[in-house]
A and B are shown apart, each in its own frame.
Chain A
Amino acid sequence: DTEVTQTPKHLVMGMTNKKSLKCEQHMGHRAMYWYKQKAKKPPELMFVYSYEKLSINESVPSRFSPECPNSSLLNLHLHALQPEDSALYLCASSQWGTGDTIYFGEGSWLTVV
């Protein structure tokens, strides 16, 4: 199984809503990532978890709150988002520190209205 599964595929939320994006992998990878991608731009790193601990936070606003409940799951909790946060949110995973291949999910398309 070389899949990274993201749910939901599409999400529309209001600026006062609270929602979550979910990511799951069963490859035994100990590094998991959240990326944000705007149209026609490359992905931008948001967070990196290694061994379920947050290791990189790229100065992301606190309205985005990551969580890694176990080695297979990664969540991104969303609260009080702005319309400019509308984007494709990509989850990825890899082995940690080995320079191994990185696997991406299909992404969650988020629209904030």
Chain B
Amino acid sequence: KNEVEQSPQNLTAQEGEFITINCSYSVGISALHWLQQHPGGGIVSLFMLSSGKKKHGRLIATINIQEKHSSLHITASHPRDSAVYICAARVYFGNEKLTFGTGTRLTIIP
């Protein structure tokens, strides 16, 4: 079993729909990252969370440390949101190793 699990693996939705991607982890972490990767390859860091909730534009990320679970939400989804979304757990401060989830491939249809 992977230390970081994501669901769903693939998600197709209509433009405008509310999107939720889930991430569960089994290790103790100091922070959890949400990353976005477009087909061209580059990865963009969307959020880094150690507690609570963060919002940036139409994106919202939450984390529940006790339940070892994080979610990424996209409101009013748009075709340009189509990408692979990856959660990655930073194991503990001082060890800069990230453990990656397997990614969620999101496709938004106009």
Contacts and interface: CB of A to CB of B under 8 A. Distances in A.
Contact of B94 (A94, A97, A103): A97
Interface size class on chain B is 20 to 34
Interface string A70-113: 00000000000000000010101010111111111111010000
24 contacts: A31-B96, A40-B103, A43-B100, A45-B97, A45-B98, A48-B96, A50-B96, A55-B96, A56-B96, A90-B43, A99-B48, A99-B50, A99-B93, A101-B33, A101-B48, A102-B45, A104-B35, A104-B43, A104-B44, A106-B40, A106-B41, A107-B42, A107-B43, A109-B41
A34 interface: no
Q: Which 8 A-B pairs have the closest CB atoms?
A: A42-B100, A106-B42, A104-B43, A107-B41, A99-B31, A101-B45, A101-B48, A31-B96
Contacts of B90: 99
Given A56-B97, A97-B93, A99-B93, A42 B42 contact: no
A56 B98 CA distance: 12
B107 to A, nearest CB: 14
Interface residues of A, number: 29
A40 B100 CA distance: 13
Given A88-B41, A107-B42, A42 B102 contact: yes
Contacts of B97: 45, 48, 56
